Amino acid sequence: MAGMLNLKSDAEREVEEKYSYSDQAGNFVFLALKIGFMFCMITLNFIALSVALNCNKDSTPIVKFSAAVFAFFFGFIYLIVNYYTYRVLSQKKICDFDKERLFPF
């Protein structure tokens, strides 16, 4: 059991490895792409949250809360399925956005 969890020797072995500049550059680019993707996803989720709150600003607090949670967790899906397909194409309604508050609670 002690041989399996010898973290000190594992760390020393990792320090001894030398990475080339191309490996470091590849790791940096891959990390930058992951961070960029996560930034885009969280931005899209906040946009969906704002759309959900603006479209349901006259609804009850329970409806607002459930729409906001769904929109934040499933941003792209909410924008395409619920807002664009259902509200815009089916009902022919476009939400009025509050120009002073981005998230009208």
Decide: 38 and 70 in contact? Cβ < 8 Å: no
- How far is Cα 19 from Cα 27, in angstroms, rounded to an integer? 10
39-56 confidence digits (pLDDT tens): 999 999 999 999 888 888
Percentage of the chain lying above the pLDDT 90 cut: 27
What's the rounded mean pLDDT across residues 76-101? 79
- 19 pLDDT more than 90: no
Task: Tell me which residue of 47, 51, 43, 49 sits closest to 93, measured CA to CA.
Answer: 51
Q: Is 97 exposed, middle or buried (0-12, 13-18, 19+ CB in 10 A)?
A: middle
Tell me the pLDDT band of 30, cut-offs 50, 70 and 90: very high
- 32 pLDDT more than 90: yes
Q: Considering Cα of 99, then 100, then 103, then 104, what sign does the dihedral take?
A: negative
